[in-house]
Amino acid sequence: MRPLDFESIKAMFVKDADQAYKILEIDPKASVAEIKQAYRTMVKKYHPDRLQTKDPAMVKGAQEKFRVVQEAYETLKNERQF
C-alpha cells in the first residue's frame, strides 16, 4: 500500500482540518485544477462499477470510499467556492 493510499483511508476515520485534502491525496495548497484532477482520479480508482468481484465486502468498501471521496470533493468545492 502506498503511503498516500494509507493517509487517504486513514482520513476517512480520523477527523482533522485537512481531511478532505488527505482523502483526495493532495496538498492543501493545491489549485482548483489539481483538486478537480485528483477527484477524477479517485472516482476512477474507487467507483464500485469498476470492481471485477462480486464479493459483498469489497463492493461495500468501494461504495463507502466512493461516497467519502464525493463528500471530500463537495467540501472543498464549497470551501473554495468553485
For the chain, what are the domain ranges? 3-80
Phi and psi (nearest 5°) for 55? -60, 115
* pLDDT one digit per residue (tens) for the chain, 82 residues: 678 888 787 777 767 768 899 999 999 999 999 999 999 999 998 888 888 887 889 888 889 999 999 999 999 999 999 9
Q: Give the per-residue pLDDT at 38.
A: 97
3-class DSSP assignment, residue 14: coil
User: Domain 3-80 is classified in which CATH homologous superfamily?
Assistant: DnaJ domain (1.10.287.110)
Tell me how far apart the alpha carbons of residues 9 and 25 are, in angstroms, rounded to a whole number.
10
